[in-house]
Structure formats: structure tokens, C-alpha cells
Amino acid sequence: MNPWFAKIGILLGYCVLVAIRATYRFRRRNVYVVESRMGRLEVALLALASIGFVVPLLWVVSSAFEVANYTLRLVPFMVGVFFLALGLLFFARSHAALGTNWSATLKVNEGHELVTQGIYRHIRHPMYLAFLVYSLGQAFVVPNWVAGPSCGIAMAVLVSLRISAEERLLLEYFGNDYEVYMTRTKRLIPGIW
Ligand code: SAH
């Protein structure tokens, strides 16, 4: 297959991702933050995630990483498109459920409410799952050994290092309510983990 199918798929995916995020970023523009855990680790994780997302874009618009290209095939491409779409669906549903309680880093806002409904009824971190599923899609769609897995590696590191800190923050803030929520939900995979 012509690699331009992959390039167009990646660009479309990014457009949808950015449009969803921009909508909710705009909605929370006047929200006052009461607690922010923006330590060095958070800064490093955000930088890593940004690199993970920028590398496939560089692959799309330039000949960077050309040496690591391989032939694009129909079946992996279709599998990848499926995971990209599923990731975007989870992403939209997580944002819709979190509303103004969302933040890009570890924060608690004024009037922050614990969300346990919608997609949060099934797992505690559906937005991180969305990024992981989306990244898996990229790994299949992008026929390049560097740009394909870059996002997945960055997101796997971010999610594995951030989840515990985020749960500690929410436990501190919501106490027993979050504890109860934890006992009846898993982190990323319903019924498993
Ligand atoms: N980890 C979640 C949310 C990511 S956004 C997910 O993957 O879906 C990160 C912010 O969401 C954190 O700063 C935290 O304050 C907030 N948050 C996480 N879970 C929440 C919940 N169940 N209810 C309300 N806010 C939550």
C-alpha cells in the first residue's frame, strides 16, 4: 500500500484528537485550580508524551526516520485504523464524563467532583486507556520502526508512572468515596487490572 494512506490516517486521527481536547480545554478555561502536583516527574512525563506524539508527525511531513521505513500492508493498516477509532471513541467518552474535572496534569479544581459514571463506571482511567489503544493503532498504521511505536512507548511510561500518584491525590481529596470507587473498579481493564 502507498504510505500516504498511513500519513492521511495519522493526520485525520490527530485532527479529531486535538478537536476533542480543544473543546474541553476551552470549557475549563475559567476553572480555578486548588491543588496542583506539577513536580519534576510530571514535567518529564509531559515532555516524553509530547515527543511521542510529535515523532509520527515528523514522519508524516518529512523524510526523518526514512531509514526505518517498511512496507505498509492492508491487514495491519485496517487493524490500526480500528484501534485508532476505538481510542478516539474512548477519548471522547472520557472527556464527556469528566467535563470540567479534567486537567492535563495532576490537579484538583475548585468544586471538583468525583466522576464514577459513564465510562468511569467500568474503569478508573479510561482516558489513559484511550491513549494506549490509540497508540497501538499508530503502531500498526505507521510503517516505520521508530515513528510507529514512539507514542505507545511514551504513553506506557506516562501511564505506569502517573497512575499511583493520581490515585494518591484523589484518595487524599475524596477519601472514603474514592476508596469505595476503587474497590468496585479496576484501573484500565475491567475485571482484570
Ligand atoms: N486518569 C483519568 C483522568 C485523566 S485526566 C483517566 O485516565 O481517565 C487527569 C485528571 O483527572 C487528574 O488531575 C484528576 O484530578 C482527574 N481525575 C481522575 N479521575 C477522576 C475521577 N474519577 N473523577 C474526577 N476527577 C478525576
Question: Using CA positions, which residue lies closest to atom 11 of ligand 1?
Answer: 102
pLDDT at position 90, please?
Answer: 98
pLDDT in tens, 111-147: 899 999 999 999 999 999 999 999 999 999 999 999 9
d(CA 31, CA 152): 31
CA dihedral (128, 132, 133, 135) in degrees, to 10, reads 130
Cα 105 to ligand 1 centroid, rounded to whole Å: 9
Domain assignments of the chain as residue spans, ordered by start: 3-184
> Using an 8 Å Cβ cutoff, are 65 and 58 in contact?
yes
HEC letters along 70-128? CCCCHHHHHHHHHHHHHHHHHHHHHHHHHHHHCCCCCEEECCCCCCCCHHHHCECCHHH
Measured CA to CA, the distance from residue 158 to residue 153 in angstroms comes to 9
Give the SS3 label for residue 186: strand
Ligand 1 centre distance from Cα of residue 95 (Å): 10
Q: pLDDT tens, 55-95?
A: 999 999 999 899 999 999 999 999 999 999 999 999 999 99
Residue nearest atom 1 in ligand 1 by C-alpha distance:
125
Decide which of 3.60.10.10, 3.40.630.30, 1.20.120.1630, 3.30.465.10 is the CATH code for 3-184: 1.20.120.1630
Give the percent of the chain with pLDDT over 90.
85
Cell numbers given for 53: 506524539
Is residue 38 very low, low, confident or very high in pLDDT (cuts 50, 70, 90)?
Answer: confident
Closest residue by CA, ligand 1 atom 4: 127
**3 state DSSP class of 34:** strand
Say what the pTM is.
0.94
